[in-house]
């Protein structure tokens, strides 16, 4: 089954409910972002204002042990920006070895 995913800065970005996955599952790491809180605007639009960000190893079967780094961000843009930095660094470290 060949699927097309939304791409952002060279990595797939997939949302499932309040969880957003960023990166390739075939790579050593992927980033999961969990929307912890949303604020509703006057127009009824929900805006995420608290995001938990987790860098996870794709090789570890236990999801709790797979978490390598964590952070909190106040909006989705900052969360994705941090996720991109983490994935780029992991990619650079893997190529240096």
Name the H helices within the chain.
63-66, 76-96
Digit-coded pLDDT (tens) for 15-65:
999 999 999 999 999 999 999 999 998 888 999 999 999 999 999 989 889
Stated pTM of the model: 0.86
Domain boundaries, the chain: 6-89
| pLDDT for position 52 | 98
| pLDDT for position 92 | 85
Beta strand residue intervals within the chain, DSSP E: 6-8, 11-16, 19-22, 29-40, 46-57, 67-73
């Amino acid at each position: 089954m060949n699927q097309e995913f939304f791409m952002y800065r060279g990595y797939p970005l997939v949302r499932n409910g309040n969880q957003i996955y960023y990166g390739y599952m075939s790579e050593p790491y992927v980033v999961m972002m969990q929307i912890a809180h949303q604020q509703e605007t006057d127009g009824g639009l929900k805006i995420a204002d608290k995001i938990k960000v987790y860098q996870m190893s794709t090789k570890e079967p236990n999801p709790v042990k797979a978490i390598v780094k964590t952070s909190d961000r106040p909006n989705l843009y900052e969360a994705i920006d941090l996720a991109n930095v983490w994935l780029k660094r992991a990619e650079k470290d893997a190529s240096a070895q």
